Amino acid sequence: MTETPATPPLRADAFAALRFPEYRNLIVGNFLFTIAMTVQEIAIAYELYLITHDPFVLGLLGLAEALPFMAVALFGGHVADRRDKRSIMLFALSFILVGSMFLTWLLQPHIRSGLSQNMLLACCYGVVAALGLARGFLTPAVSSLKGFLVPREHYANATAWSSTLWQAGAILGPVTGGFLYAGAGLSASLIGVCTLLLLQAVMYARIKPRPPQLSAAEQQESVWESLAVGIRFVFQSKIILYSISLDLFSVLFGGVVAVLPVFAEDVLKIGAQGLGVLRAAPAVGAMVTVLLCTRYPPMFKAWRNLLIAVAGFGVSILVFGFSRSLWLSAAALCASGAFDSISVVIRGTILQMMPPDHLRGRVLAVNSIFISSSNELGAFQAGTSAAIFGATRSVLIGGTITLAIVVGVWRRSKDLLALRLS
């Protein structure tokens, strides 16, 4: 990785990363996984809510997966740096497939009718927690493998395409889950999940094994020494630490997804249909923007662009907080998704370029913990803040804090503004 003075960028080959078959297999597999897990989440959450009519059950369901993931993700990065990444991916995916098949069996009417409600919930939470553990190994392996499948000069393009398919899965997953559940029922939805996971395994199996190349000193490191090296690299690399921190705090304080039902019902008074528009708006903005990033990568003066993108996200959240119109609110959320996707492309490229190959898994594991923390804690913070200050005031406070964080990081990172990563 070199840092050179910025020069004007040329228009990039929009399909550069897609010309590598193994990379195509990887991101198509990830796309299928995003849809499968979203369909499963919707089907199980809706079914458990019909059984219990208790919203708290839904919160515990998300927490049951998030906490195990965060607990093992760093160790998963250690394993990804010391084992064949494809083997880890296939093993973790097989574990997830078995867990999904067990859920399909467990929620059959003749099986669950023989269980008490508390026993059924405990079994579901236990399986979901096991899936979270498996994802703690799958995610670092998948993330770190990307850097081995395309040349370094195409990392930005690869990140843009990866984000594009993730956004596509995030849009199609809820739609697919809703239609499957409504039209075919719970069992068919969960069988569809297992089918998608099998197709994902086929995609991953078409990637060649890549055993790690470790030095003698690295082979002698204990697990704790290995983990410490990854954490220390993140905190000693200014551009990585600041880029991850920007994402963490912008989502932690500026995220509004958790309180959208409050805005739909009490502030904008637009009902469930309007809520659907608001929920879809950030993904639409993100999808359009990441497609543009495949053609025009934002790595020219990358750090400047990252700061502008996060600042734009904060401004969009402020506009949303002030808005009393459905369409202005939707436009603000669309813009927030667009700005967020730019920061995702830049940060993802930095995280692929900066760490050496033997450390990439651990560094990306640290990043995945930050992301999970920001999403889960952000939803908790948004709900708590809305309960204390009111929904509108809490969103305005969050947008203001996001902008203040950008200013603080800008003051500490001016030396990065004129650099282009190449």
The pLDDT assigned to 4 comes to 44
- Other beta carbons within 10 angstroms of residue 211's beta carbon come to 11
Mean pLDDT of all residues in 82-102: 93
pLDDT tens-place string over residues 104-125 = 999 888 888 778 888 988 999 9
The pLDDT assigned to 103 comes to 92
Q: Taking CA 389 as the corner, what is the angle to CA 388 and CA 392, rounded to the nearest 5 degrees? A: 135
pLDDT tens-place string over residues 205-250 = 999 987 776 665 666 667 777 778 778 888 888 888 888 888 888 8
Range of lowest pLDDT (243-247, 359-363, 395-399, 407-411) = 359-363
What whole-number percentage of the chain has pLDDT above 70? 88
Which residues partner with 419 through β-bridges?
Answer: 5
SS3 call for 340: helix
Q: Which position has the higher pLDDT, 169 or 196?
A: 196
Q: Which two tokens stand for residue 2?
A: 């070199």
Q: Which two tokens stand for residue 146?
A: 């990307």
Residue span(s) of the chain under CATH 1.20.1250.20 come to 12-209, 229-422
CA distance 91 to 97: 10
Note the Cα 54 to chain centre separation in Å.
27
What burial class does residue 53 get, using C-beta atoms within 10 Å of its C-beta: 0-12 exposed, 13-18 middle, 19+ buried? exposed
User: What does pLDDT average to over the chain?
Assistant: 83
Please give the C-alpha separations between residue 357 and each of 20, 46, 344, 385, 401, in angstroms, as whole numbers.
19, 42, 21, 41, 35
The pLDDT assigned to 99 comes to 94
Q: Which two tokens stand for residue 152?
A: 């370094």
> CATH fold of 12-209, please?
Growth Hormone; Chain: A; (1.20.1250)
Mean pLDDT of all residues in 50-57: 72
The pLDDT assigned to 1 comes to 43
Note the Cα 159 to chain centre separation in Å.
13
Closest CA to 190 of 11, 82, 45: 45
CA distance 21 to 206: 9
pLDDT of 321 higher than 50: yes
The answer to whether residues 391 and 269 touch, using CB atoms and an 8 Å cutoff, is: no
The answer to whether residues 12 and 150 touch, using CB atoms and an 8 Å cutoff, is: no
Mean pLDDT of all residues in 252-272: 77
The answer to whether residues 94 and 101 touch, using CB atoms and an 8 Å cutoff, is: no
The pLDDT assigned to 387 comes to 75
Please give the C-alpha separations between residue 385 and each of 148, 156, 252, 261, 372, in angstroms, as whole numbers.
42, 36, 11, 15, 19
Maximum mean pLDDT: which of 174-178, 294-298, 306-310, 349-353: 306-310
Q: Which two tokens stand for residue 395?
A: 């969103």
The answer to whether residues 99 and 127 touch, using CB atoms and an 8 Å cutoff, is: yes
The pLDDT assigned to 187 comes to 87
Q: Which two tokens stand for residue 123?
A: 């079994």
DSSP 150: S
The answer to whether residues 310 and 244 touch, using CB atoms and an 8 Å cutoff, is: no
CA distance 67 to 64: 6
Closest CA to 380 of 193, 263, 251, 271: 251
CA distance 300 to 298: 6
The answer to whether residues 44 and 61 touch, using CB atoms and an 8 Å cutoff, is: yes
The pLDDT assigned to 221 comes to 66
Maximum mean pLDDT: which of 142-146, 155-159, 189-193, 377-381: 189-193
Which pLDDT band holds residue 309 (cuts at 50, 70, 90)? very high
The pLDDT assigned to 80 comes to 85
The pLDDT assigned to 294 comes to 79
Residue 192 CB contacts under 8 Å (≥ 6 apart), including other chains = 36, 39, 176, 180
Closest CA to 317 of 235, 401, 239: 401
Q: Which position has the higher pLDDT, 32 or 212?
A: 32
Residue 163 CB contacts under 8 Å (≥ 6 apart), including other chains = 286, 290, 293, 341, 344, 345, 348
CATH architecture of structural domain 229-422: Up-down Bundle (1.20)
CA distance 339 to 308: 8
